Amino acid sequence: MAIDFTDQRVLVTGASSGMGAGLAEEFARQGAVVGMCARRQHRLDEVLDRCREHSPESRRWVCDLSDPAAVDRLAAAALEELGRVDILINNSGIPKRRHVSRLDPATVESVMNINFFSPVRLTLALLPHMLERDSGRIINVSSVAATLSSPGESAYDASKAAVTAFSESMAIDLWQTGIRVLIVYPGLVDTELFSLPDNEPVLAAIEPVPVSELVDGVFGALDSGAVQVYVPGYFADLASGKAANVERFLSGTAKFIADQKASG
Ligand SMILES: NC(=O)c1ccc[n+]([C@@H]2O[C@H](COP(=O)([O-])OP(=O)(O)OC[C@H]3O[C@@H](n4cnc5c(N)ncnc54)[C@H](OP(=O)(O)O)[C@@H]3O)[C@@H](O)[C@H]2O)c1
């Protein structure tokens, strides 16, 4: 039977577009009170308006989560204004498609900051409250890049691999509690992530799936109690194929990229 999310308090980061917006709207449609955040106020307001059609108590906070103090303020505001956080969705993130030969340490740090340190900080701020109630869900949006090491994205891949390792270890630590962890592995989902500036072109041309497919995948995983979900699902097979023979996977990927370049 599907979970009843009525009156659940859900905090979604990065809800101004893409998957965060899709998840926020679906939770609101299912009766949850949604708290959401991002930097672009006008985009966040559009999502909030749609959420309030179903869930009038939903609210938003405009914040830049690369600032640790803003993360702390968000956690405090969410607890105070929502009353509690039953479901935390760490979704905010930025891409960084840049060949390793053009990377600099400051760029790598900035990617780690928003993609890894900010969700960890938010999780650690809200976890004590979940532990007190012995209940809660933490949904961390990683990426297939964490397990498949996409070429030309070493900084991004590392930030998402860190999210995965942290989440898996956290899931074990919390296994005997009432808190559940879900790690989400989007493959290629049709969002603005691929048109953001300061990124090199996407190397592998894979057909993206719509945000609705990702949202369905997350709700399906919540229903089944899974600890991870890949969307589209075939990426799970690619990840186990890579784990079975890393050298073959890396050399095959390098050849694929070289062939693509050669064919223009
Ligand atoms: N699309 C894919 O195929 C794909 C694949 C693997 C993983 N992912 C992951 O999925 C998550 C959502 O991405 P998306 O594809 O839905 O792309 P998106 O539409 O660009 O969404 C990213 C969200 O993160 C927010 N954000 C970025 N920097 C922020 C900051 N400093 N402070 C607060 N919010 C910030 C953005 O809002 P503002 O710009 O308004 O701040 C936006 O709401 C990301 O973690 C991404 O890495 C996506």
**111, 156 Cβ separation under 8 angstroms:** yes
| Residue 148 pLDDT > 80 | yes
In this predicted structure, the answer to whether residue 41 has a pLDDT above a threshold of 90 is: yes
Closest CA to 78 of 39, 35, 45: 35
pLDDT at 16 over 90: yes
Helices H / strands E in the chain, number of each:
10, 7
Pocket test for ligand 1, best of 13, 39, 67, 192 (most atoms within 8 A of CB): 39
User: Sign of torsion, CA 102 104 108 110?
Assistant: negative
List the domains of the chain with CATH numbers: 9-262 (3.40.50.720)
Tell me the C-alpha distance between 263 and 34, whole Å.
Answer: 48
Q: In this predicted structure, what is the pLDDT of residue 260?
A: 85
- CA 158 to chain centroid, in Å, comes to 14
- For atom 48 of ligand 1, the residue with the nearest CA is 186
Please report the atom of ligand 1 found closest to the CA of residue 196. Answer: 20
189-238 pLDDT, tens per residue? 999 999 899 999 887 778 999 999 999 999 999 999 999 999 999 999 99
- The structure tokens listed for 224 are 């089944």
Res. 142 pLDDT band, cuts 50 70 90: very high
- Contact yes or no for 182/223 (Cβ under 8 A): no
What distance in Å separates the CA atoms of residue 178 and residue 133, rounded to the nearest whole number? 8
DSSP readout, 197-246?
SS-PPPSS--PPBPHHHHHHHHHHHHHHT-SEEEESTHHHHHHHHHHH-H
The pTM of this model reads 0.98
CA of 13 to the centre of ligand 1 (A): 9
Q: Which of 109-113, 148-152, 204-208, 254-258 has the lowest mean pLDDT?
A: 204-208
Which of the four pLDDT bands, split at 50, 70 and 90, describes residue 158?
very high
Give the pLDDT band (50/70/90) at residue 11: very high
DSSP secondary structure code for residue 67 in this structure:
S
| Token couple for 240 | 């186990």
From 144, 193, 196, 238, the mutation candidate for ligand 1 (largest count of ligand atoms within 8 A of CB) is 193
3-state secondary structure of 90: strand
Specify the pLDDT at position 72: 98
Is 156 noted as a catalytic residue in this protein?
yes
Helix (H) or strand (E) holding 183: strand 179-186
Catalytic site residue from 156, 185, 230, 234: 156
Across the chain, mean pLDDT equals 96
Specify the residue for token string 């969002």: 191
Ligand 1 centre from 193 Cα, in Å?
A: 6
pLDDT for res 261: 83
pLDDT of res. 234: 96
Going across the sheet that includes 179-186, the strands are: 59-62, 33-38, 9-13, 87-90, 136-141, 179-186, 228-231
pLDDT tens readout for residues 174-192: 999 999 999 999 999 999 9
* DSSP-based three-state secondary structure for 153: coil
Site residues for ligand 1, CB cut-off 6 Å: 14-20, 38-40, 43, 64-66, 91-94, 114, 141, 143, 186, 188-189, 191-193
In this prediction, residues 119-131 reach a mean pLDDT of 98
Spatial separation of the C-alpha atoms in residues 97 and 110, rounded to whole Å: 13
Name the pLDDT band for 249 (thresholds 50, 70, 90).
very high
